[in-house]
């Protein structure tokens, strides 16, 4: 249901059409918009801006997907010169091969391969599976689920290192950004290798990437708030009055258009605010329970 969403969640704010409140919705909206006659240029522009903020390549018309050959062959497993992608139709074949052989690949190799697939698919207007997104480290982390899988490793090995790591994940010093999650998956990978836990993957345990990026929900665009990060979608839900009361009318004017909070302006302005203002804003958002 989208009836409760603010107008800023739509590229066409007047008609509340073409949702842009998540990477998946923005991509889908652009897919529809490029096939629909009469879509206003400013609507296309807002969708394009949202895709840029999310770091997602825009879809291309169907005919472009069937382009003959790429100018340069891309290897999905570059360190082995394996799984060459020469045309758009090779992307799905390469993805199937990676997922079929994921248990044979090192964690870093698997993550790199899936990232290459995501980029290739995006450039060619294609989609990859949620599992590929997960293995590429582009899905959200369910902290409790991740901590539980780390504890499960402690139950198997009887080593307290895993319990300490799980407590850290749950605590205030736990991961707050994708960079933190990547570091965590690397740490889990090293511990798994040290204690020989790879034999349990896909049986008793998920591999390090699926342990840390423990959902299949695409990671949303995050805004740096100093000591933490907050999803851009969360910031966009708040009314102009919220920002004017906390940050002042001058800042509120910078992030709003015609009295409506603009996600693009939020992403540009908030990270440039002084740390004390960002900390205050983050604390008030937490208090509001949004």
129 and 188 in a single domain? The answer is no
> For position 61, what pLDDT does the model report?
56
pLDDT band at 106 (very low <50, low <70, confident <90, very high): confident
147 and 205 in a single domain? The answer is yes
Domain contains 217: no
Give the global pTM: 0.54
Domain contains 66: no
What pLDDT digit, counting tens, does each position of 151-160 carry? Answer: 999 999 999 9
Classify the C-alpha dihedral 278-281-180-268 as positive or negative.
Answer: negative
Output 63 or 126, whichever has higher pLDDT: 126
> For position 196, what pLDDT does the model report?
95
150 and 122 in a single domain? The answer is no
Domain contains 251: yes
239 and 280 in a single domain? The answer is yes
> Of 135, 163, 179, which closes a domain?
135
Mean pLDDT of the chain: 85
Domain contains 63: no
230 and 277 in a single domain? The answer is yes
| Contact present, 255 and 265 (Cβ < 8 Å) | yes
Tokens of 60: 């291309």
Domain contains 273: yes
Domain contains 265: yes
Domain contains 149: yes
Residue-number span of the structural domain to which 245 is assigned: 222-288
Please say if the pLDDT value at position 283 is more than 70: yes
149 and 127 in a single domain? The answer is no
> For position 67, what pLDDT does the model report?
47
> Of 95, 115, 135, which closes a domain?
135
| Cα 261–Cα 225–Cα 114 angle in degrees, nearest 5 | 95
What pLDDT digit, counting tens, does each position of 175-204 carry? Answer: 877 778 889 999 999 999 999 999 999 889
Please say if the pLDDT value at position 2 is more than 70: no
> For position 63, what pLDDT does the model report?
43
> For position 204, what pLDDT does the model report?
92
What pLDDT digit, counting tens, does each position of 115-155 carry? Answer: 899 888 877 878 888 889 889 888 888 999 999 999 999 99
Q: Which residues contact 185 (CB under 8 A, 6 or more apart)?
A: 107, 111, 137, 208, 209, 211, 212, 213
160 and 208 in a single domain? The answer is yes
Number of domains comprising the chain: 4
What pLDDT digit, counting tens, does each position of 6-49 carry? Answer: 888 888 888 888 899 888 888 888 888 877 766 777 788 888 88
Highest mean pLDDT out of 77-81, 219-223, 275-279? 77-81
| Across 210-239, average pLDDT | 79
Domain contains 191: yes
């Amino acid at each position: 249901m989208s009836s409760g969403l603010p107008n800023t969640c739509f590229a066409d704010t007047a008609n509340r059409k073409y949702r842009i409140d998540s990477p998946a919705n923005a991509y889908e909206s652009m897919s529809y918009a490029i096939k629909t006659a009469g879509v206003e240029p400013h609507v296309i522009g807002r969708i394009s801006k949202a895709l840029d903020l999310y770091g997602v390549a825009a879809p291309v018309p169907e005919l472009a997907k069937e382009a003959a050959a790429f100018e340069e062959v891309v290897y999905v497993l570059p360190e082995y010169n394996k799984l060459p992608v020469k045309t758009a139709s090779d992307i799905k074949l390469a993805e199937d091969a990676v997922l079929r052989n994921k248990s044979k690949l090192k964690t870093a190799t698997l993550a790199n391969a899936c990232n290459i697939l995501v980029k290739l698919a995006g450039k060619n207007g294609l989609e990859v599976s949620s599992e590929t997104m997960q293995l590429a480290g582009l899905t959200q982390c369910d902290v409790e689920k991740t901590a539980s899988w780390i504890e499960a490793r402690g139950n198997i090995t009887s080593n307290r290192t895993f319990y300490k790591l799980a407590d850290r994940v749950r605590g205030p010093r736990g991961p707050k950004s994708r960079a933190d999650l990547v570091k965590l998956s690397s740490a889990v990978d090293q511990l798994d290798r040290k204690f020989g836990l790879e034999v349990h993957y896909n049986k008793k345990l998920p591999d390090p990437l699926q342990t840390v990026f423990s959902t299949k929900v695409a990671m949303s665009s995050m805004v740096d708030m100093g000591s933490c990060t907050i999803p851009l979608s969360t910031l966009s839900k708040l009314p102009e009055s919220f920002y004017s009361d906390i940050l002042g009318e001058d800042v509120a004017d910078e992030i709003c258009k015609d009295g409506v909070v603009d996600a693009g302006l939020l992403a540009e302005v908030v990270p440039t605010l002084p740390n004390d203002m960002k900390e205050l804003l983050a604390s008030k958002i937490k208090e509001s329970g949004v």
